[in-house]
Amino acid sequence: MARIDAAYNYFMTTYGDNIGNRYESHKKSELRDTYNRIVKANKDSPLYKIKDTEDMGQFAIDIKEHANSMALSVSNLSSAGEDISSIMDKRIASSSQQDSVDAIYVGDANSEAEPFTIEVDSLATPQVNTGNFLLSDGHDFAEGQYSFDLDIKNHSYEFQFNVNKGETNLNVQNKIVRLLNTSDVGLSASLISEDKTGSKAIQVVSKSTGHESDENLLFGISSTISWRELNTLGINRVTQQPANSSFKLNGTEHQSLSNTFTVNKIYELVLKAPSDGEVNIGLMNDTEALSNGINQLLDSYNGMIDIGLKYNGAHQNRTLFNEISSIARNQAEVLEAVGITADSLGHLSLDRDTLAESINNGDSRSAFDTLNELKNSIGKAASKASINPMAYVDKAIVEYKNPGKSLSAPYATSAYSGMMVNYGL
């Protein structure tokens, strides 16, 4: 179990921030298709034993997540239609400072999308309450039942918790954190540590940001019955007041409760950081949108190449690298004609000028056919790697299934696909 926990911890710390991409939602038919492919992949798969190495779980996760990245880049290029040429008719918003402001086009095809400027002065922030730092093995709470009140968004809640005999401060703090997180009242609680002593404090953060003009705080924590225990915890102390985002649209000052909002029901803006002067928001031109999509596809492909090279160096296993790099090798000549070239390690790069020229030289159909073939090949490779990443790891065959009489056991493969790596086989 420790190995499984380590694998999931690696997944969350390495790839957790990427969860939630808008192309990751799926229809029932797509989920059913994935299940059927898992069953098919497992049906004739032999029983095998995985080598017990420290990086095996990490490698499998890397394969699966980079395969997911490739699949998302393919979905991005297919969002306007299966033929990659359809992206030329798609309206895509652009931002001159993407690190500061991200822009998404949400209008319809007939909307008049006039460009504009935005200057971000400050971001909207949540309310933060930070409790007192308590020694984890201390006993500052007597045995008994306690409660505190939470006022948030015109609602009041009472939270009760018990302190049992012998429980430490850390036990009590963990109870409060779980209580707040499972209540689903718009707050997020966690424990933070003090570097010098290792003492811990509860930090409570509102999921909402900003505040209306007639209020200064988003929530309040109080208690009349258990005021001593609440003061010991200190979670009623506000350490950061909520604030609205502040920005200028075409030179006119505005504020927003959130860092995400729409402008004229055409552009959805996501503020990420104060800007360096004015940010230009508008629509990409045709070839710019296509180039950005192709670059995203190549970046995801190069990421999988890197994983193949890494595993080749650590385990002398070239299966993944050979399979992925063969995509570009088999299409090298036609890819070069649209501005896509490979370096000595197999990484692909795009020359935007050559791509634009190949699209505008009167033979655009040939260029689009080449790009479609690359996109489809990468999509197939992503699907295969995502369904069974364990196909690329070192393993010893224990037993082959009886040909023609094999039974489906989908959970065996789905466990590996879900990174439940079983080292006890």
Give the per-residue pLDDT at 425: 33
Domain boundary among 206, 240, 274: 240
> Which domain CATH number covers 200?
2.60.40
Distance of alpha carbon 97 from alpha carbon 107, whole angstroms: 21
- Residues 374-403, mean pLDDT to the nearest whole number: 81
Instruction: Provide the whole-model pTM.
Output: 0.62
Beta bridge partners, 200, equal: 134, 193
Taking a C-beta distance cutoff of 8 angstroms, is the pair 186, 206 a contact?
A: yes
CB 382 within 8 A of CB 78: no
Task: Tell which residue, 315, 296, 301, has the closest CA to residue 59.
Answer: 315
Residues 294 and 357 in one domain: yes
Q: Structural domain tally of the chain?
A: 2
Please indicate, yes or no, whether residues 83 and 139 belong to a single structural domain of this protein: no
Q: Let me know if residue 348 belongs to a domain.
A: yes
Domain shared by 298 and 409, yes or no = yes
For 308-357, how does the pLDDT look when each residue is reduced to its tens digit (9 = 90+)?
Answer: 898 887 676 788 899 999 999 999 999 999 999 999 889 999 999 999 88
Flag whether 258 is in a domain. Answer: no
Grade residue 52 by pLDDT with cuts at 50, 70 and 90: low
Out of 174, 205, 240, a domain closes at 240
Same domain, 234 and 305: no
- pLDDT digit string, tens, across residues 263-275: 988 999 999 999 9
DSSP states of 64-82 as a string?
A: HHHHHHHHHHHHHHHTT-S
Can you give the residue range of the structural domain that contains 220?
128-240
pLDDT of residue 227: 93
Is 235 found in the same domain as 325?
no
In this structure, the strands spanning 93-95 and 279-283 are antiparallel
Asked, for residue 98, whether it belongs to a domain, the answer is no
Among 225, 240, 255, the domain-final residue is 240
Residues 303 and 407 in one domain: yes
State whether 413 and 291 are in the same domain: yes
Domain match, 292 and 412 both: yes
Residues 56 and 132 in one domain: no
The DSSP string of 383-404 is: HHHHH-GGGGS-EEEEE---TT
